[in-house]
Amino acid sequence: MTVQHDRKGDAPASAVGDRGGVTGVPGTLAADLRARLTAHDGRSPTIPSEVAAQYRDAPGFLAAVIGLASDKDRMVSEAATWILKAELEAGARLDRALTDGLIDQLDKLEAWQAKLHVCQAVSHLDVPETARETLRAWLTPLLDAERPFLRAWALDALCRLPGTRVDALLGRMAEDRSASVRARVRNLARARPKAQIRPAQDADRAALVALSVHPDQAGHVAPNQNIPKAFWPHDG
């Protein structure tokens, strides 16, 4: 399989269009990809694999894939994000415009598997400093997602994002009810030799509570409902 390892010239995209697609993508390419990806069954990667093999060398391929990431058709969205993850894992790289285009439309993703694929792809992204907080704001609520895999990979993505208090976050998520999440915590900790996996101590908890309580609620411990439960204080 041949992969372009630097696709900075892949497309002149700089924004997300009104219908969720990245601007600057040839309409026929985007339409062809979408038509093929509607056949995806949500289980086998056969269709997205075949589509990637057929179109990856076409100008604007990655831009078209990113434009389909937030498609209203769940199968198209899942397949497009699967392709994006697979291409990045194989060595493809997004330029700043494409990375911004992806991050700008994350709040439009509805399919949980599409969200999972993006979380798994974060480690392969060079996230511009100006987009980090937007990405962090999208990832953080996923720490409370119903599906354990989504919680685990949202944690992984956050730990790779500059500015994250990794040790405190790992300590908190080490108490997650799911074995798969706790396993991801251990894997991430092993990559940080000096980290100590432990439940968050009082100092950590106080810092997290400070982030979750509005200023006019000082002295109270009732958490802000906009902060994920993973950050809420608890007894014991």
Q: What is the pLDDT of residue 192?
A: 78
Q: Residue 157 to residues 24, 56, 59, 101, 140: CA-CA distances in angstroms?
A: 28, 26, 29, 18, 10
Q: What is the pLDDT of residue 11?
A: 42
Q: What is the pLDDT of residue 87?
A: 98
Q: What is the pLDDT of residue 26?
A: 57
Q: What is the pLDDT of residue 193?
A: 63
- Indicate if the pLDDT at residue 200 is higher than 80: no
Q: Which burial class, exposed, middle or buried, applies to 2 when counting CB atoms under 10 A from its CB (0-12, 13-18, 19+)?
A: exposed
**Whole-angstrom distance, CA of residue 5 vs CA of residue 70:** 24
Cβ atoms 174, 199 nearer than 8 A: yes
Q: What is the pLDDT of residue 126?
A: 96
Q: What is the pLDDT of residue 105?
A: 96
Q: What is the pLDDT of residue 191?
A: 86
Q: Is residue 66 within a helix (H) or strand (E), and if so which, with residue range?
A: helix 61-68
Average pLDDT rounded to a whole number, residues 89-95: 97
Report the percentage of the chain scoring pLDDT > 70.
70
The tens digit of pLDDT for each residue in 113-159 reads: 999 999 999 999 999 999 999 999 999 999 999 999 999 999 999 99
**Whole-angstrom distance, CA of residue 211 vs CA of residue 63:** 37
209: confidence class by pLDDT, cuts 50, 70, 90: very low
Q: What is the pLDDT of residue 218?
A: 39
Q: What is the pLDDT of residue 194?
A: 61
198: confidence class by pLDDT, cuts 50, 70, 90: low
The tens digit of pLDDT for each residue in 35-77 reads: 999 999 999 999 999 999 999 999 999 999 999 999 999 999 9
Helix (H, G, I), strand (E, B) or coil at 59: coil
Cβ atoms 172, 200 nearer than 8 A: yes
The tens digit of pLDDT for each residue in 94-120 reads: 999 999 999 999 999 999 999 999 999
Residues in the chain: 236
**pTM score of the predicted model:** 0.73
**Tokens (6 digits) for 166:** 């990794």
